Chains A and B, each alone.
Chain A
Amino acid sequence: MKQSKSRPLTREQVDQFGAELDALHTRVRDDLGQHDADYIRRVFAAVRYTEAAGRVLLYCWFLPPLWVLGVLLLGLSKILDNMELGHNVIHGQFDWMNDPYLRGRDWEWDIVATGDNWRETHNFRHHTYTNIKGMDDDIGYGLLRLFPEQRWRPFYLFQPLVAVIFALLFEWGVAIQDLRLGRYFKGKMAPGEMAAAFRPVGRKMRRQMIKDYLVFPLLGGPLFLPILAGNALANIMRSLWTYMIIFCGHFTADVDVFPKSVMNGESRGQWYLRQIRGSSNLRGGKLFHILTGNLSHQIEHHLFPTLPANRYGDIAPEVRAICRRYGVHYNTGSLWLQFGQVIWRILRYSFPSKPVPVNRVRLLAE
């Protein structure tokens, strides 16, 4: 069995470690200003302009290369809207600007999932209980077995196929994640309760569908089908990309999962430690980072989810240096390396494995 790559720290060390990260956080926060405001407004404009261009080009069906370009631009716009804009704004990263347009709590994005559900499953559950088995739904999304700590069931034999379908329909998966259908099917939720929970989600889904699969195609008249297909492809493109990036964030080979007991009296430093050990980064160029919504800096994001994402790149070397000093493994690699490890996990853990007690993870040196 593989041991965690991070060395256990003493309580004092963890406290110091936490204090250093706190100081870094404060320093960046005090430095926020015009530059960051301009940045996120530029991203917003880029999303809108690429979207408009992409949608217009889709009407050029008679010139196929232009149509293809339209799909790519629209897909790009949806990726940006989802990642660098939506995900980050919803975290409240730009709340300090006091601009109601960029307020995390009110933000809605161009996907079938509602901002409200995301604020609950992601901002709160996933970010607070990161990689705690039984608390963080993102561990396999109730659909996949990615860690030996999860109990094997025969259903998981189909996991490779399930994973592909899940990737294609990722935005739908995210949309219903908060409904916790599993609990419903087990009879733990009254039908009325489910209907009430579904109503806002259904409304959002309907509006998104009407836009992409009815109104825009209708505007194309005889081009109804090419436009519908273009919109569908752009949505799938976005689903695949976000799936890949998000899975690379927590399911690579060297990340740790934790038992619920880690939360007992967890200090700020220990919380930081858990975030780092449960996350993995991606290496790449500037454009790549933007397309991932800077989730390529997953570690920095999990340490400081409310800091504007455009700052993660700047602080990454410092975070890495701090980790090195404390012997905490800083998990990073190229997209292909990291995603390869994710695929390996999906394949490997579709088969039974020797059960591992979750509490093997030691945060503290006793």
Chain B
Amino acid sequence: MVASTVKKLLRAGDWLATPLNAARYLETINPLWSDHGRGRVERLIQETPDTVTLVIRANGAWAGGEAGQYVQLGLDIDGVRYWRCYSLASPVQPGSREFSVTVNRLDGGRVSTYINDCLRAGDLVHLKATAGDFVLPAQRDDQKLLFISAGSGVTPVMGMLRQLIAERSGADVVMLHFSPDYAHCIFHDELRASNSEQRRIHLAVTREDARDGDLAGHFSADMLEQVCPDWRSRQAYVCGPSSLMSAVSELFLGAGLSSQLKQEAFVLKRAEVPEGAGGKVGFVVAGKQVDADGKTSLLEVAEGAGLTPEHGCRMGICCGCLATLKEGQVRDLNTGEVFGESGEKVRICVCAAAGDVSLEL
């Protein structure tokens, strides 16, 4: 009721605000009054020396999501907005619209480093809708579930576990979580405390001696048999580095149970591009892919492939040729700089492929 009245008022206000809209004016006063997803960092919790949890309160424009899904988080770092996907590590609280994400510092990761070192309570973050089907089954009270995670792959799993606990679900849970050592075990205390008859949580360490009946070593079929003999009859979830993902999925494949396994890969590796090298250029709208060297502008590459992208000056000054980068990075032919974030608009007349790229053309 209130929301729809506000919407109507804003729409009327658009006549006063043209060519912008009324929300842009409100947002000038308070960034959270935006008609785009925004959030305020309410609290930061240091989980391990290089992992921090952000408790974020979203504004009304953000559509919300389910624990285990990932949300795109946009942060302005030195004036530039970067977007990264992080799993919801908690359910979204209905009244307060609060949720948390947990961010592990990656080597050379600009955004994760910034979040760990520089972000403060009160800071603004940009939010896009959540996505992903790494979520609890809709009917779950009589279900048997199995969670397998390693490292920061625990975050979406933690989200689901917290949701089950919050709703006092009757689901029967076995969880198996790997960390290198206790100091780097994210959510260590909470996991220990959540261990119960109904939710049996097993911790494993790979680079330290195991304590108090914990497991030692990496994932294996034997280990799974040992902690969860009935794994074949469970809906399973796995999230972690690729070695764990492939070990688990091979096991399920071999047992003919692939359809019972949900997987969430979370580490995207950006390939190192050798100096000056080109790559494969994909044009997603046209549905074409061609090879390109590192010296030919993407505009010329596109034209060579029979496309006719819009353009103007062909020398980098008019921005008439901007195209959206889907994946990969490009090299500025004037400066040699290699850059590119997915979703960024690049001037294809002065940029060449730096490794494989795909463009929305």
Contact = CB atoms under 8 A, between A and B. Distances in A.
A176 to B, nearest CB: 18
Contact of B345 (A52, A95, A127, A216): A95
Interface in A42-65: 44-45, 48-49, 52
B80 A105 contact: no
B95 interface: no
B312 A128 contact: yes
Contact of A26 (B16, B81, B335, B345): B335
Interface string A110-151: 100000000110011001100000000000000000000000
A124 B320 CA distance: 7
A211 B18 contact: yes
Contacts of A208: 18-19
Contacts of A29: 335
A75 interface: no
B79 A97 contact: yes
B20 interface: yes
A146 B312 CA distance: 27
Interface of B: 15-16, 18-20, 24-25, 28, 76, 78-82, 312-313, 315-320, 322, 334-335, 337, 341, 343-345, 347
B18 A33 contact: no
Nearest to A204: B19
Contact of B79 (A37, A91, A110, A306): A37
Contacts of B334: 22, 25-26
- List the 8 shortest-distance A-B pairs measured between CB atoms, nearest first: A37-B79, A124-B312, A92-B319, A108-B19, A128-B313, A124-B318, A33-B78, A98-B81
Contacts of B78: 33-34
Interface SS of chain B: helix, strand, loop or mixed?
A: loop
B16 A211 contact: yes
Interface SS of chain A: helix, strand, loop or mixed?
A: helix
B79 A32 contact: yes
Nearest to B28: A48
5 contacts: A33-B78, A37-B76, A48-B24, A127-B318, A215-B15
Interface string A149-160: 000000000000
A119 B25 contact: no
A91 B76 CA distance: 21
A103 interface: yes
A103 B15 contact: no
A107 B292 CA distance: 32
A224 interface: no
B25 A48 contact: yes
A56 B316 CA distance: 42
A49 B318 CA distance: 30
